[in-house]
Amino acid sequence: MYQGMNRNILLLALPASILISLASCDVRKTDQHDHNAGAAAPVEALAPTSVQVIDSIYDFGSIREGELVEYSFRFKNTGSEPLVVNNVSASCGCTVGDKPQAPVKPGELGFIKVKFNSANRPGEAHKSVTVSSNASPAFPELIMKGTVLGKEQ
């Protein structure tokens, strides 16, 4: 009887130990081109906090083709844990987002700086920026929009 129980325990323990060892391995590749990657802990390892986004849409109006538009989207850490922004990615190469380098402490304001280069982009502009952090719920999509007037206008 004990021999059968030991074999059953072994049959249950073996798959469990394999799953545990697989779960402890992080086999995801990191993007070597991400200039925003830093020493911050992965989002999954951080305690969640909450965020209040003060600016989620910036309308820059009308600009001339070739002008550079910069705007700092403001947010406040409304939670009780430090807010860490791990990544900021834009919808196209003409738009670049810059994240805070240090965690934003509870109650403090933080900024996501976004730059849009309007060179060769005449017409309506609608650029989105995605923010990855330990905020729950997650950051909403940040939007920069306006009209780029062609060189002949």
Weakest-pLDDT range from 20-29, 83-92, 107-116: 20-29
In the 8-state DSSP scheme, what is residue 45? G
Query: Alpha-carbon distance 103 to 59, whole Å?
Result: 28
Residue 152, pLDDT score: 74
Confidence of residue 45 (pLDDT cuts 50, 70, 90): low
Query: Alpha-carbon distance 129 to 90, whole Å?
Result: 4
Q: Is the separation of the CB atoms in 72 and 116 below 8 Å?
A: no
pTM: 0.69
Fold for 43-149, please state it. Answer: Immunoglobulin-like (2.60.40)
Weakest-pLDDT range from 14-23, 77-86, 109-118, 121-130: 14-23
| Domain spans, the chain | 43-149
